[in-house]
Amino acid sequence: MRRLALALILMLGFLAPGQAVQAQELQALLQTHAGEIAKPSRKRVGAVLEDLVASGLPGMPVFLERWRDKGVWRNKESGLFFFAEAAGDTLTLNDVDTGAGSTGPKSEFAQLKPNGGVRRVIGTALVEFQLSDPDLTRRTSAVASIARRPEASQLGPLVASIEGEADPDLKARKIQLANFLSARFADTLEARIEAIESLSNDTSVEARSVLNLILTTKAGVAVTAPDGNMARLLDPGADPDVFYAQLVDADLAPPRTPPQAIRAALEANIDAGRVAGIPVAQLNTNVTRQKAYAKLAEAGLAPPLVTVADRDAALAAHVFFELYDERNPAITQAAEAALSTVEQSVAFAQTVDLALDGLSLASIYFLAAIGLAITFGVMGVINMAHGEFIMMGAYTGYVVQLFIPDYTVSILVALPIAFALTFGAGVTMERLVIRHLYHRPLETLLATFGISIALQQLAKNIFGTQARPLTSPGWLDGAWVISDVIQISYIRIAIFVLALIFLALILYVLKRTRLGLEVRAVTQNPGMAASMGINPDRINMLTFGFGSGIAGIAGVAIGLYAKVTSEMGADYIVQSFMTVVVGGVGNVWGTLAGASMIGFLQKGIEWLNPSNTLAAQTYMILFIILFIQFRPKGIVVLKGRAAAD
């Protein structure tokens, strides 16, 4: 290690070039180990590499790379080594010292082909050079190589390279990796404990892996508890058969006699209709079969029978334990404390991450349902085609992007176009169909369901059945990474912000505009509103169009996150109705509360049952059904007409 450290210092340039390059050339040095280099083995290559690295020759890193990558050839006659590349039967040769080029017939040279184990050893030695290479890419690759296969010999060179590291991100990575290696391989107890304690603030998977490696255990069994760093004593009563099998594997107890062996022994010793004096007709229970087998064992006609009592006695006579592979108790105690702290931090971070996921899903449901909340709340119309208005908005965004390649501009243009298109579609639908079906909910449901099927088929005829891309702007790519556990995509953040904008806009329209005043009047008491000069028929038309237009804008936003197909509306219609009903019909704050409840509930159930999202949705629907039984008017109860219904 002293010679290797000296070589690294030379490579870093702390000594003058004249001191770094020794009189002996690389080719001459290679010839002193020609046999080991030409046919290396994992046992002998270490000594060869130590001499090569300690030479400090400037061409050594390149030679190690080419040797590892099978790019070194040896002349069969002279024994000289060359860098070479094959082209048919000819080799393009380069001198290992000067790099001078030449050619030669392939038949006169032998390619050096170190095996996988030797290449790993060469790679480890090469990493030490690459840690201080002028090329940032090579330094990054060296650090990644250490992270994949950490070894005690890498700690010194890694620490030595930290001070001279110019790239701040790579320097931070080197410090973190050196901390990982110190926790496992530092020379002193104090250094290891200090490194382990520092890991209590690191929630990364790598840090937890290091702590778990320190806390690895090995199970064992003995007559008395052995000396060593005991992790825990095990209770054999938890699973007697498993622990007894451990006794058998350790040759501390005879194997249990399986029922098949008992049956075979009894069948082999039938004599005149009896087995060990017991009539065959009586061997119809386990007790009598074991009794007959025990008599055969006493007579030496079968192996001894191991009963449950024998098993329990053997278990009681032995100690089952787990010993830490790490022999120093102070190290494992520090690792256990650090791991406990990390797991608590990870649990908190996972809770926060789950809450962010729930908030994100709630914002999507709010966008999908707010238009339905307005139409359903004001008009009492069960609009099963609401999901198709979302689909129309998403396809509008796709078409706009075909003409405007700038994704940011195209999204800004698509939002008002989607609103206008779906507003017009909603008004048309209300004038032609809905106005004739007021106060007839069953007919309205059937009619709008038929319209939804027609709109889906129309979309398939125009755009086909394949999903169409609605591409988000580049600044929405990636995710906001708060920690190793907490992160959320920028698209979901954008949808959440858009939901807040929608909430503020709708509240402004309903609270601060004449249209909003008239909508609220018709919602609370349509008869009184009509007597005050408000036209409920006109309000219903505008309200239905306004709700449909909002669904179109929501479709553009949802299309950035979900697939854009003719069936995408069906994915949100059920959740939209649940959101409206649970939150409270016709109330914006109720829709927000319902979306939040359903979003958090669905994410919570998916976390409990991550392997089956369909089951999670089923459980969520059952919960909502029970919730409605106890609160039929939803979380936020609407005053006026809804209160009188």
Summarize pLDDT for 250-268 with one digit per residue, the tens: 888 888 777 888 888 888 8
Structural contact between residues 369 and 547, judged by C-beta atoms closer than 8 angstroms: no
How far apart are the C-alpha atoms of 230 and 224, rounded to whole Å? 13
DSSP H helices, 513-635, are 514-524, 526-531, 536-561, 570-583, 588-608, 613-630
DSSP state of 271: B
pLDDT of 625 reads 83
State mean pLDDT over 588-598: 86
State mean pLDDT over 6-22: 37
Q: Using alpha carbons, select from 251, 344, 259, 323 the residue that is nearest to residue 293.
A: 259
* Position 413 confidence tier, pLDDT thresholds 50, 70, 90: very high
Structural contact between residues 414 and 544, judged by C-beta atoms closer than 8 angstroms: no
Question: Is 60 exceeded by the pLDDT of residue 17?
Answer: no
State mean pLDDT over 483-497: 84
189: which residues sit within 8 A by CB, 6+ positions away? 328, 330, 331
* Position 205 confidence tier, pLDDT thresholds 50, 70, 90: confident
How far apart are the C-alpha atoms of 309 and 69, rounded to whole Å? 63
State mean pLDDT over 504-511: 84
Tens-place pLDDT, residues 83-96: 888 888 888 888 88
State mean pLDDT over 3-21: 37
Question: Is 70 exceeded by the pLDDT of residue 21?
Answer: no
Q: Which of 249-253, 406-410, 472-476, 524-528 has the lowest mean pLDDT?
A: 524-528
Place of tokens 């009563």: 237
pLDDT of 212 reads 92
pLDDT of 107 reads 87
pLDDT of 638 reads 58
pLDDT of 419 reads 93
State mean pLDDT over 595-622: 78
pLDDT of 262 reads 81
Structural contact between residues 27 and 96, judged by C-beta atoms closer than 8 angstroms: yes
pLDDT of 332 reads 92
Does the pTM surpass 0.85? The reply is no
Tens-place pLDDT, residues 126-172: 777 778 778 888 888 888 888 888 888 788 888 888 888 888 999 99
Structural contact between residues 598 and 620, judged by C-beta atoms closer than 8 angstroms: yes
How far apart are the C-alpha atoms of 111 and 75, rounded to whole Å? 9
pLDDT of 612 reads 62
And the tokens for 80?
A: 């000289």
Q: Identity (one letter) of the amino acid at 351?
A: T
CA distances from 460 to 48, 72, 564 (A): 70, 61, 11
User: Positive or negative CA dihedral for 485, 486, 490, 495?
Assistant: positive
pLDDT of 18 reads 37
- CB neighbours of residue 503 within 10 Å: 18
Question: Is 70 exceeded by the pLDDT of residue 532?
Answer: yes
How far apart are the C-alpha atoms of 124 and 55, rounded to whole Å? 17
Tens-place pLDDT, residues 340-395: 999 999 889 888 888 888 888 888 888 888 888 877 766 777 888 888 999 999 99
User: Positive or negative CA dihedral for 69, 74, 80, 84?
Assistant: negative
How far apart are the C-alpha atoms of 243 and 236, rounded to whole Å? 6
Please report, rounded to a whole number, the percentage of residues in the chain having pLDDT higher than 90.
16
pLDDT of 396 reads 94
Question: Is 80 exceeded by the pLDDT of residue 234?
Answer: yes
CA distances from 542 to 425, 505, 545, 591 (A): 12, 16, 5, 20
- CB neighbours of residue 419 within 10 Å: 22
Q: Identity (one letter) of the amino acid at 593?
A: A
Question: Is 90 exceeded by the pLDDT of residue 270?
Answer: no
State mean pLDDT over 285-308: 80
**CA-based diameter of the chain, in Å?**
113
| Residue 205, Cβ density class (10 Å: 0-12 exposed, 13-18 middle, ≥19 buried) | exposed
Give the distance from CA 629 to its chain's centroid: 38
The CA angle 397-398-400, to the nearest 5 degrees, is: 65
Question: Is 50 exceeded by the pLDDT of residue 460?
Answer: yes
And the tokens for 137?
A: 């890419």
pLDDT of 639 reads 56
Question: Is 80 exceeded by the pLDDT of residue 75?
Answer: yes
Structural contact between residues 425 and 392, judged by C-beta atoms closer than 8 angstroms: yes
How many residues in total does the chain contain?
Answer: 645
User: Positive or negative CA dihedral for 410, 411, 414, 415?
Assistant: negative
Question: Is 70 exceeded by the pLDDT of residue 593?
Answer: yes
pLDDT of 394 reads 92
345: which residues sit within 8 A by CB, 6+ positions away? 201, 203
Structural contact between residues 550 and 374, judged by C-beta atoms closer than 8 angstroms: yes
- Give me the helix-helix angle, 490-512 and 329-379, nearest 10°: 30
Provide φ and ψ at 194, rounded to 5°: -60, -45
Share the mean pLDDT of the chain: 83
* Position 614 confidence tier, pLDDT thresholds 50, 70, 90: low
State mean pLDDT over 551-579: 86
Structural contact between residues 392 and 422, judged by C-beta atoms closer than 8 angstroms: yes
| 314: helix, strand or coil | helix
Structural contact between residues 293 and 265, judged by C-beta atoms closer than 8 angstroms: yes
How far apart are the C-alpha atoms of 585 and 380, rounded to whole Å? 9
